[in-house]
Structure 1
């Protein structure tokens, strides 16, 4: 088969990189391995000084489809090298790839087939976010690409406004003549979150789209890297300012194009994704960061239309309402729990003079619409504490009232599941029955408790997340996470005897969102590995500014 045959070699893959010698050849090889549908791979080196260009040149000497484009100076961002690659592309379609990511087998062929069969200017597929080195793999925006949402053909993006939530540019195939005809380019120079603006420009141009359910991109996340990616390097306030600036620019693009439904959907996505992600981390930041973040966020939310924030029936909109009501940072633990996934609303619960549910007496943000939602969607709070002991490990759960809704539904049973983070496998299920609070407890302070024995022998070495399935008398079920109860000795590492292994190291801990999880190491070697990884993380955090 002639690789230059226009009937087959239809795709230019643009790979960008800067000082990423350990990974860039792997990315390029994954592009070349796509087969004859790829006419060329354009590797754009953005002023690297670590030997990356030499590695690419050596590979190009053996691979006729690889072209290396060198920039003498680093542009400071991802947009300029992508624009360079797009300008040099000779194939009818273009696909973008970052130097530290990979294309799964046949990704280009699947996207090309969808684009050609459906006469679409843009074809998009599932991006898989892969936590390295041991997982887990999580799909990005799966509701857009999982059946029955995909496969699908959309004559215009406005047919599915939630497309604005997928701001990535790398899991999509674009007709190059479409991008050039509409002058769709990335922002130049140092512009973090440049794909927000590029994606908005694509949608504003009104393409016909084809969506497929297949994985087409592996987004590889390396949290222990010496140089964190933009999406992970969130410790400084400049990252949040860059994100809001990019989102503001994207919304302006959509409004200017007359795509008001898409612009409002983009704002809703910002509240549900970006705002919740950063709010989960607030109580781990410095007081100065919190002050600046709070002031900047309130200022940005002030540019939203009232219809973008009301009704307050979703966690992101409720977060925005609390922020706008509070001049200074407050209620950070409750905000973190509300921002978790799934959302949890910790007590205390307040009511107005007319019994309307409120966020608190100090911040009387109304929750009447939130409290009226179906029980299976409410941000119910389950607190949990785990006590690893020689005689048996006990898990105690406490379900809190939610403005009378829990008592009305009558909780009956709870089933705790320990899910292996790397694989998603359920290692143990622990059923328990609820017991109600004593008589005389104020209605909004009522709790229901349940206790279960955890068979640690069924849980191997690794990290285990706790999920709790709540069952109510009316047949309703609610799957949620559990808030980690802190206290003397509750979140402490314990060494327990293990048959055949000598020792089992068990540590309950609170995740960044406050959920209870469990780390287990088996034997002396496993215990040593836990301490070694902890030391590496500690030293790495000290090296970063």
Structure 2
């Protein structure tokens, strides 16, 4: 079971010498623009870092000169230059493990950074508790916006010691290798290495091998890694480039290998972790890629559907039952249908929070089902699931205007559960994508529609009062029975909707308002204030058009 991280007297003695304990392995390929920042962030960790091993995967862009200058300036920097590019991240990390001279090792990618105090926090946890692995919070920082999103924050709410991985199955959700400190000899003794060569999602397999070796794992709540996400980069990272079906197929293979490794681990704990890994696949990977399907081409959709269906056929009923309901429903539709279907509806179920949009058919015995022609995909859980967790569908229409922007919300019935609870009011919040408190809060009462299965509410929003940027629409539904449900609005397309509108603003002259649907279908609004803001948006749009024309001409 998990324990608190209060050290014993013996462990206090063990932790006295915390200097020169860590080898930080920095890997990079053709990343001269960022690798120096990564190395410096490792050196800035202080005396806990014995050495920084910079593995250059045969770069051709001047990275070698940058690393040579860093090594000349600080004796702790050692450069390992590969003579041939490996094609992936696993091989250079293995080179770093082989070269490491310190008792502990951690990994850093060339385009990311370690925040101050990361090494000390991880090393203290490992030494104080005699843990083979110490793991901390990673944040994904979207660039250039700077927006930060914590990765798997549920694992790192407080300091804990996990004596054996199977006692905390949620560990399989954190597949990253970079937010962790490993005892070097532990990796070597158990032969824990990364897949060699061009292997995408190598972290999946490495993490499975670590967990299968049954280490003691210390969890710390501190931020220990900043993962830079550069979606507009000229060359996307291997895992972010999801344009082709090869990325999904690589993800399937990495996950398949991970499950096999866990299942084959000695004892019953590995089987428990393998089941948790499959449930995580259904809830995370399956939902993430299902959201993208409507935007993909027909060839991609068919290949995705066939490969995913084949993989899901290796799952047993208990694997699917262990997954949260939205992913489980998507998986069962895939297993029941030979060809891609209902993609927009699946996209809504894959959203977070999930939404189930009409139709709402029933089987002959009145059991809720996905579709009349797929009665085997039953939805009976919707009849007993707490209302606060139901995939309620709320349609949102935002119509900007000079007298205020009118937001109309329509809550749909769901197999009688909504009417039973009694829709009362809805709280509307506009939250800036970059974080911070809501910029606007409004409350409106629901009124029943003519059809009896829709409840509508309207609010007037003063958008010129908000700062520029992207604002997400968040909802809290209140029902007569005292239940509340936090959700989002589904962006509705139609005449006069989801288009740019210029509205007057007393402070800035004019404001460009752009309601739009996120990848998950949620309603958001982008604001560009002032004449300069409007011109900037127009300029960027023209640039996108010209790039698209150029790309077509170059084919």
Q: Which moved more, 1:450-459 or 1:259-268?
A: 450-459
Distance verdict in 2 for CA 1:23–1:311, change over 3 Å: closer
CA distance in 2, matches of 1:266, 1:523: 49
- The equivalent residue for 1:212 is 220
- The equivalent residue for 2:11 is none
Counterpart among 489, 492, 495 of residue 482 in structure 1: 489
Distance verdict in 2 for CA 1:321–1:58, change over 3 Å: same
Measured against aligned partners, the alpha-carbon deviations of 1:355-391 in whole angstroms (never above 9, x if no partner) come to 1111111222101124421111111111000000112
Q: Within 5 A, what are the aligned runs for 1:144-543?
A: 144-146=155-157, 150-258=158-266, 259-310=270-321, 314-364=325-375, 365-438=377-450, 441=452, 446-535=453-542
TM-score normalized with structure 1 length:
0.95
SS of the residue 1:350 aligns to = coil
Distance verdict in 2 for CA 1:231–1:533, change over 3 Å: farther
Give the unaligned 5+ runs of structure 1: none
Does the Cα contact within 8 Å between 1:224 and 1:537 map onto a contact in 2?
Answer: no
Does the Cα contact within 8 Å between 1:135 and 1:423 map onto a contact in 2?
Answer: no
CA distance in 2, matches of 1:424, 1:400: 30
Distance verdict in 2 for CA 1:45–1:536, change over 3 Å: farther
Aligned: 1:45 with 2:56 = yes
CA distance in 1, matches of 2:551, 2:21: 45
CA distance in 2, matches of 1:492, 1:37: 54
Q: CA deviation at 1:135?
A: 3.1
Distance verdict in 2 for CA 1:326–1:83, change over 3 Å: same
Q: CA deviation at 1:345?
A: 0.7
CA distance in 1, matches of 2:40, 2:138: 19
CA distance in 1, matches of 2:551, 2:519: 21
- The equivalent residue for 1:121 is 132
Measured against aligned partners, the alpha-carbon deviations of 1:273-313 in whole angstroms (never above 9, x if no partner) come to 11101000000000110011001110110111121123786
Aligned pairs, how many? 533
Does the Cα contact within 8 Å between 2:23 and 2:50 map onto a contact in 1?
Answer: yes
TM-score normalized with structure 2 length:
0.94
Does the Cα contact within 8 Å between 1:314 and 1:370 map onto a contact in 2?
Answer: no
SS of the residue 1:153 aligns to = strand
CA distance in 2, matches of 1:215, 1:532: 38
CA distance in 2, matches of 1:538, 1:87: 49
- The equivalent residue for 1:11 is 22
CA distance in 2, matches of 1:22, 1:540: 24
SS of the residue 2:506 aligns to = coil
Distance verdict in 2 for CA 1:276–1:112, change over 3 Å: same
- The equivalent residue for 2:147 is 136
SS of the residue 2:340 aligns to = coil
Measured against aligned partners, the alpha-carbon deviations of 1:209-250 in whole angstroms (never above 9, x if no partner) come to 111111111011001001111232111000000000000000
SS of the residue 2:73 aligns to = coil
Distance verdict in 2 for CA 1:111–1:312, change over 3 Å: closer
CA distance in 2, matches of 1:9, 1:538: 54
Q: Which moved more, 1:359-368 or 1:531-540?
A: 531-540
CA RMSD of aligned residues (A): 1.6
Aligned: 1:80 with 2:80 = no
Q: CA deviation at 1:526?
A: 1.4
Q: Which moved more, 1:357-366 or 1:514-523?
A: 357-366
Does the Cα contact within 8 Å between 2:280 and 2:323 map onto a contact in 1?
Answer: no
CA distance in 2, matches of 1:495, 1:122: 55
SS of the residue 2:487 aligns to = strand
Q: Which moved more, 1:277-286 or 1:449-458?
A: 449-458
SS of the residue 1:224 aligns to = coil
SS of the residue 2:439 aligns to = strand
CA distance in 2, matches of 1:528, 1:205: 58
Measured against aligned partners, the alpha-carbon deviations of 1:408-464 in whole angstroms (never above 9, x if no partner) come to 1111000111100012431001211000122x64xxxx0110000011132110000
- The equivalent residue for 2:5 is none
Give the unaligned 5+ runs of structure 2: 1-15
